[in-house]
């Protein structure tokens, strides 16, 4: 049996035998919503060539399954005054993961944190105003005994931004081949 932990909407969710994919109609709906996030469901149903009720049922299903996790605005921290992006690996003291996560939740510059395999326990995505601010944030993180050490990598440029469009297309195409 395959067991995975998938993080969606900022909370870990344990799933077993993850196999529910999306079909071609789901893929087209997700693409339409991604391209025009403020368009109404009636316009989406017309674009997809399905009844409004069908579009609503599909959307509800995608939301309830966790495929679609939000409808809010996508924000760019750099344009909010936080142009420095760093990936910081943390080694956590044995048995103190919950304490470390609670500490990190109090640091607003930590915008994501993932449990990892390997010799480090957490990978944090951190945004700051400048390198000095990054040092201050890392020092604040290290102030708890729950965090033993950190290793930081500063992003120099974004080569591929966060994207799901190609994945949606691949999953829909795969479903069409089954």
Residue-wise pLDDT tens digits, 50-90: 999 999 999 999 999 999 988 878 889 999 999 999 999 99
Kindly report whether the global pTM for this prediction surpasses the value 0.85: no
Verify that 46 and 112 share a domain, yes or no.
no
CATH assignment of the domain containing 19: 1.10.10.10
Range of the domain at 97: 77-154
Report pLDDT digits (tens) over 10-53: 455 554 445 578 999 999 999 999 888 889 999 999 999 999 99
Kindly give the pairing relationship between strand 147-154 and strand 122-128.
unpaired
The count of structural domains within the chain is 2
DSSP code, position 146: T
Taking the C-alpha atoms of residue 135 and residue 28, their distance in angstroms, rounded to an integer, is 44
Same domain, 34 and 83: no
């Amino acid at each position: 049996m395959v067991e995975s932990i998938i993080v969606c909407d900022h909370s870990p969710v344990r799933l077993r035998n993850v196999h529910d994919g999306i079909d071609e109609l789901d893929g087209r709906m997700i693409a339409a919503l991604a391209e025009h996030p403020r368009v109404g469901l009636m316009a989406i149903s017309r674009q997809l060539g399905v009844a409004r009720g069908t579009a609503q049922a599909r959307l509800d299903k995608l939301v309830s399954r966790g495929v679609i996790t939000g409808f809010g605005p996508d924000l760019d921290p750099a344009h909010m005054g936080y142009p420095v992006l760093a990936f910081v690996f943390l080694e956590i003291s044995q048995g103190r993961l919950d304490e470390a996560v609670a500490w990190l939740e109090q640091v607003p510059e930590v915008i994501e944190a993932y449990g990892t395999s390997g010799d480090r326990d957490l990978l944090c995505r951190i945004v700051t105003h400048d390198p000095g601010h990054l040092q201050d944030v890392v020092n604040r993180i290290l102030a708890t005994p729950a965090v033993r050490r950190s290793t930081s990598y500063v992003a120099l440029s974004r080569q591929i931004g966060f994207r799901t469009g190609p994945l949606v297309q691949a999953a829909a195409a795969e479903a069409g081949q089954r």
